[in-house]
């Protein structure tokens, strides 16, 4: 586990919380909730909490972020 590069200042002093360095570890609760929502939808015959459009929008944002890094420019997404 990598150390965080931030400090939290409180009345008790300064602390540096650990930084979780792998996205699966960082977002374990989110993945667990997504899987539970999928299982509930299949079990109950209802719609899933996330859709293909959600995945597509995430990809659009990731592509825009990569383009911004490569060009150094702001990339607008509609």
Residues 43 and 55 in one domain: no
User: Which structural domain range is residue 68 located in?
Assistant: 51-78
For 38-76, write each residue's pLDDT tens digit.
999 999 999 998 889 999 999 999 999 999 999 999 999
Euclidean distance between the first and final Cα of the chain, in Å? 37
Are both 30 and 57 inside the same structural domain?
no
Distance separating alpha carbons of residues 6 and 4, to the nearest angstrom: 5
Are residues 57 and 70 part of one domain? yes
Are 6 and 37 part of one and the same domain? yes
CB 31 within 8 A of CB 46: no
pLDDT 10s digits, 10-21: 888 888 777 666
Q: Predicted confidence band at 1 (pLDDT cuts at 50, 70, 90)?
A: very low
Contact yes or no for 4/18 (Cβ under 8 A): yes
Q: What was the pLDDT predicted at 21?
A: 66
Q: Cα–Cα distance between 37 and 30 in angstroms, integer?
A: 11
**Is the domain of 37 the same as that of 75?**
no
Q: Quote the number of domains for the chain.
A: 2
């Amino acid at each position: 586990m990598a150390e965080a590069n931030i400090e939290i200042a409180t009345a008790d002093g300064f602390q540096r919380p650990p930084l979780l360095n792998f996205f699966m570890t960082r977002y374990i609760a989110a993945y667990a909730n997504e899987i539970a929502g999928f299982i509930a939808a299949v079990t109950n015959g209802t719609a899933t909490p996330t859709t293909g459009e959600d995945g597509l929008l995430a990809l659009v944002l990731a592509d825009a972020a990569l383009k911004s890094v490569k060009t150094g420019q702001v990339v607008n997404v509609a």
